[in-house]
């Protein structure tokens, strides 16, 4: 009877932990985070391209480059749900829940049931683990796959018969982890290091599994080989690697100060001063709350004591009664923690919320080990259990308040997750039709347009993108909608071209939103083009295969050296072009530019034939420019690495600028 009572109690704790984890990961998942970051939107459109368009890339070069597994897993779900924001978020949430179960099982197999329950509870209620499980980012798959690899490997080590199946499973999961996130490459070394430590300290047990370990490591590398072959053939695709290289390159050059600074700052993320980026974290909030950090420190002290007493024991050949042996599982945990923390120690605490995710499961093992030690030391089970329940219950309440009340409602967080653009898309879903031009500070394809693809379901609306801070876009339609948020106000220099726009609606955003107001305008094509024709100096149309040059408006006919000249150009789009830019040159007597401005605020990848746009060029005149009159030349170029080769002829106008 006692055994069944204990068994039921164990399942009661498991159910409580799991239900708490599910609540913190699924509650309001459609509304918090309050929108989409461009990284999340990029994951969504990539997954949809896999599910809907048959894309089968091995590595995606979007943004700074990223591994593909998360997108392929999300694509499977999108086959059912379609291109909705909820799909990638559900993948992350499920991964976070499965991680708790996998980590519980590994901790139980390697330590004990109580430690496993404490670890699972810590993961379930912590802010870091709950928050990352709600983000649609590829990093969330790394800890799950690594724990599964470790769990399968340990089952092979601890089994009565060291069969090959579990080691093959470990190799598969370890190999797949390379397709999740860059830190996986450092975590891989935990496995060979773990085997070597086990072989030295427990040779009788470990010497019989070296072949099986070789199978795990070899299989993992074979699975990862296609990715590494691709990256070797395309060395410029991983821009994030440069962040890791910079401090290490400085060390090779004899400057160790940046690395030491990053190590010092990186160590503080656990209990003192965490990631300061509001996108993922309460700025500067450490990974562990005070009580868990105290337990973490206690466990570190216990480990240090074990090391010291081990040295004393070796000298005296007599074990003190308080010796705590550094077991192979504990060594694995320490090594795992350091390997997961290593990227932050190299690059510093900025973005550590995601960069340190490889150590997330094991970080919470250390407070659990300290709790288990305290439980054995105090020998007061009932009161101890009450205290533990209060600890984890209070942490869960703190996490709820911090995430849902403080972080989730923070205006800075709403900006990071483009909640204003999400509100604009929701309005267009309900009220939009025809052509709509959206002004945003991130009009490039993998930013706001990606967000729109994940949130727009109204097929009657065709979207166009520009940045009203330096450009105006007029779609090729009799009448169009213009979405103008407060973060891209039309500058005074552009207002003269905006006379025909009529405000039809202002969306009711939150009173504390930083991007208020969000205005919807209507603009008619014919009267607008008529006004532009009066304002611009026009000539015979010129241009190239992608744009037609229609006119120029020299807003500053006279400018002093050291000041800024303003020129607006008027164009009509013929067809899209990737990586394009507009340049404006003020030319010297030798036809060599003395000043220039390269800028395009209507991204060429999204150009639609027939659209008109105006681009404002603000050109700084060097202070040492001699007085005189200088001609202006315009043109289109295509960005390639450090250069921008011109496309088509150089457009020169008779209007000149005089420098006083």
CB atoms within 10 A of CB 284: 14
Of 471, 505, 531, the residue that ends a domain is 531
Lowest mean pLDDT among 33-42, 134-143, 321-330, 419-428: 321-330
pLDDT surpassing 90 at residue 376: no
**What pLDDT sits at residue 1?**
39
| pLDDT band for position 601 (cuts 50, 70, 90) | very high
Do 211 and 323 share a domain, yes or no? Answer: yes
Instruction: Classify the C-alpha dihedral 24-30-31-34 as positive or negative.
Output: positive
**Kind of pairing between the strands at 564-573 and 612-620:** antiparallel
Do 304 and 226 share a domain, yes or no? Answer: yes
**What pLDDT sits at residue 247?**
83
Do 397 and 429 share a domain, yes or no? Answer: no
Q: Can you read off the two tokens belonging to residue 379?
A: 């020998």
**pLDDT, tens digit, 9 for 90 and up, residues 455-508:** 999 999 999 999 999 999 999 999 999 999 999 999 999 999 999 999 999 998
Do 488 and 543 share a domain, yes or no? Answer: no
Q: Cβ distance 47 to 88 under 8 Å?
A: yes
**Kind of pairing between the strands at 542-543 and 612-620:** unpaired
Do 457 and 554 share a domain, yes or no? Answer: no
Please give the radius of gyration of the chain, using alpha carbons only, rounded to the nearest integer.
30
Q: Can you read off the two tokens belonging to residue 71?
A: 């997108």
| pLDDT band for position 307 (cuts 50, 70, 90) | confident
DSSP track, 46-100: HHHHHHHH----SSB-STT-B-SHHHHHHHHHHHHH-S-THHHHHHHHHHHHHHH
Do 163 and 50 share a domain, yes or no? Answer: yes
CA–centroid distance for 96 within its chain: 17
- Which among 179, 189, 182, 177 is positioned nearest to 147, based on CA atoms? 177
What is the span of the domain harbouring residue 596?
536-659
Lowest mean pLDDT among 188-192, 380-384, 530-534, 560-564: 380-384
CA distances from residue 403 to 36, 94, 100, 409, 414 in whole angstroms, order as listed: 16, 18, 19, 9, 13
Helices and strands of the chain, counted as H and E runs: 24, 15
Give the chain's domain count.
3
pLDDT surpassing 90 at residue 317: no
- Which among 454, 455, 463 is positioned nearest to 47, based on CA atoms? 454
Q: Cβ distance 355 to 64 under 8 Å?
A: no
DSSP code of residue 478:
S
Q: How far apart are CA 528 and CA 501, in angstroms?
A: 8
pLDDT surpassing 90 at residue 559: no
Q: Which residues pair with 465 in a beta bridge?
A: 438
- Which among 129, 113, 121, 4 is positioned nearest to 387, based on CA atoms? 121
What average pLDDT does range 539-568 have in this prediction? Answer: 87
Q: How far apart are CA 604 and CA 596, in angstroms?
A: 20
**Kind of pairing between the strands at 434-439 and 580-587:** unpaired
Q: How far apart are CA 578 and CA 557, in angstroms?
A: 33
Do 481 and 557 share a domain, yes or no? Answer: no
**What pLDDT sits at residue 318?**
54
Tokens 């450009």, located at residue:
471
Do 425 and 540 share a domain, yes or no? Answer: no
**Kind of pairing between the strands at 593-598 and 564-573:** unpaired
Lowest mean pLDDT among 150-164, 225-239, 288-302, 307-321: 307-321
pLDDT higher at 521 or 514: 521
What average pLDDT does range 262-286 have in this prediction? Answer: 94
| pLDDT band for position 214 (cuts 50, 70, 90) | very high
Q: How far apart are CA 100 and CA 21, in angstroms?
A: 8
471-496 in b/e form (b: 16+ CB < 10 A) is: bbbbbbbeebbbbbbebbebeebbee
**What pLDDT sits at residue 3?**
46
CB contact set of 117 (below 8 Å; sequence gap of 6+): 10, 13, 14, 17, 104, 368
What average pLDDT does range 532-539 have in this prediction? Answer: 88
| pLDDT band for position 243 (cuts 50, 70, 90) | low
3-state secondary structure of 484: strand
Range picked from 68-82, 145-159, 624-638 for highest mean pLDDT: 68-82
**What pLDDT sits at residue 312?**
72
Of 507, 531, 555, the residue that ends a domain is 531
Do 118 and 134 share a domain, yes or no? Answer: yes
Of 395, 412, 429, the residue that ends a domain is 412
3-state secondary structure of 630: strand
| pLDDT band for position 632 (cuts 50, 70, 90) | confident
What average pLDDT does range 294-308 have in this prediction? Answer: 91
* CATH code, 613: 2.60.40.770
| pLDDT band for position 592 (cuts 50, 70, 90) | confident
Do 465 and 567 share a domain, yes or no? Answer: no
Q: Cβ distance 27 to 403 under 8 Å?
A: no
Lowest mean pLDDT among 195-204, 356-365, 599-608: 195-204
pLDDT surpassing 60 at residue 320: no
User: Which conformational region is residue 591 in: left (phi greater than 0), alpha (psi within -120 to 50 degrees), or beta?
Assistant: left
- Which among 472, 465, 450 is positioned nearest to 525, based on CA atoms? 472
Do 440 and 385 share a domain, yes or no? Answer: no
**What pLDDT sits at residue 122?**
97
What average pLDDT does range 289-312 have in this prediction? Answer: 89
What average pLDDT does range 539-546 have in this prediction? Answer: 78
Do 259 and 375 share a domain, yes or no? Answer: yes
Q: How far apart are CA 98 and CA 96, in angstroms?
A: 6
3-state secondary structure of 559: strand
What average pLDDT does range 332-352 have in this prediction? Answer: 94
- Which among 440, 399, 446, 447 is positioned nearest to 420, based on CA atoms? 440
Question: Average model confidence (pLDDT) for the chain?
Answer: 91
Tokens 């190239």, located at residue:
544
Q: Cβ distance 475 to 464 under 8 Å?
A: yes
């Amino acid at each position: 009877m006692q055994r069944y009572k204990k068994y039921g109690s164990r399942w009661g704790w498991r159910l409580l932990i799991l239900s708490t984890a599910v609540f913190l990961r699924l509650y309001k998942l459609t509304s918090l985070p309050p929108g989409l970051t461009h990284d999340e939107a990029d994951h969504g459109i990539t997954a949809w391209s896999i599910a809907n368009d048959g894309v089968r890339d091995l590595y995606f070069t979007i943004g700074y480059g990223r591994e593909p597994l998360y997108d392929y897993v999300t694509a499977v779900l999108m086959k059912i749900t379609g291109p909705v924001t909820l799909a990638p978020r559900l993948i992350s949430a499920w991964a976070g829940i499965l991680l708790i179960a996998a980590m519980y099982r590994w901790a139980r197999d390697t330590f004990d049931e109580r430690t496993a329950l404490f670890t699972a509870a810590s993961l379930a209620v912590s802010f870091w683990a709950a928050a990352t499980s709600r983000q649609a980012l590829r990093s969330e798959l790394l800890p799950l796959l690594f724990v599964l690899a470790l769990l399968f490997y340990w089952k092979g080590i601890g089994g009565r018969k060291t069969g090959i199946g579990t080691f093959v499973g470990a190799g598969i999961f370890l190999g797949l982890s390379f397709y999740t996130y860059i830190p996986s490459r450092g975590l891989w070394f935990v496995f060979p290091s773990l085997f070597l430590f086990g072989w030295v300290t427990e040779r009788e047990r470990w010497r019989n599994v070296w072949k099986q370990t070789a199978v795990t490591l070899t299989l993992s590398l074979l699975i990862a080989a296609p990715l590494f072959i691709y990256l070797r053939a395309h060395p410029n695709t991983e821009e994030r690697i440069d962040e890791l290289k910079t401090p290490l390159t400085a060390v090779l050059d004899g400057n160790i100060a940046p690395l030491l600074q990053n190590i010092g700052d990186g160590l503080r993320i656990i209990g003192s001063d965490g990631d300061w980026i509001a996108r993922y974290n309460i700025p500067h909030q450490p990974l562990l709350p005070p009580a868990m950090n105290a337990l973490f420190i206690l466990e570190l002290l216990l480990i240090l004591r074990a090391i010291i007493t081990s040295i004393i024991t070796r000298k005296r050949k007599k074990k003190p009664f308080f010796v705590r042996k550094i077991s192979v599982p504990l060594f694995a945990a320490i090594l795992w923690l350091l390997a997961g923390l290593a990227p932050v120690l190299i690059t510093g605490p900025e973005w550590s919320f995601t960069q340190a995710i490889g150590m997330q499961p094991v970080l919470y093992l250390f407070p659990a080990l300290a709790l288990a030690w305290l439980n054995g030391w105090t020998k007061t089970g009932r009161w101890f259990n009450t205290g533990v329940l209060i600890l984890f219950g209070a942490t869960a309440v703190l996490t709820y308040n911090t995430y849902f009340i403080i972080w989730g409602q923070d205006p800075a967080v709403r900006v990071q997750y483009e909640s204003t653009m999400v509100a604009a898309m929701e309005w267009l879903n309900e009220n939009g039709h025809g052509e709509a031009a959206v002004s945003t500070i991130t009009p490039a394809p993998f930013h706001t347009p990606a967000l729109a693809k994940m949130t727009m379901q109204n097929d009657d609306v065709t979207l166009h993108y520009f940045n009203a801070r330096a450009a105006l876009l007029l779609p090729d339609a009799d009448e169009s909608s213009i979405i103008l948020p407060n973060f891209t106000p039309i500058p005074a220099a552009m207002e003269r071209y905006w006379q025909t726009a009529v405000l039809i609606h202002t969306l009711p955003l939150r009173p504390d939103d930083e991007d208020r107001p969000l205005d919807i305008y209507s603009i008619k094509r014919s009267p607008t083009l008529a006004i532009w024709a009066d304002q611009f100096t026009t000539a015979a149309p010129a241009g190239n295969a992608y744009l037609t040059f229609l006119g120029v408006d020299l807003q500053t006919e006279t400018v002093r050296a050291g000041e800024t000249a303003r020129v607006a150009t008027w164009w009509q789009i013929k067809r899209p072009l990737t990586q394009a830019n507009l340049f404006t040159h003020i030319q010297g007597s030798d036809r060599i530019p003395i000043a220039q401005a390269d800028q395009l605020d209507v991204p060429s990848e999204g150009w639609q034939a027939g659209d008109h746009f105006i681009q404002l060029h603000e050109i700084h005149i060097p202070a040492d420019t001699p007085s005189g009159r200088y001609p202006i030349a315009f043109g289109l170029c295509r960005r390639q690495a450090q250069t921008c080769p011109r496309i088509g002829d150089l457009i020169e106008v008779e209007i000149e600028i005089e420098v006083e």
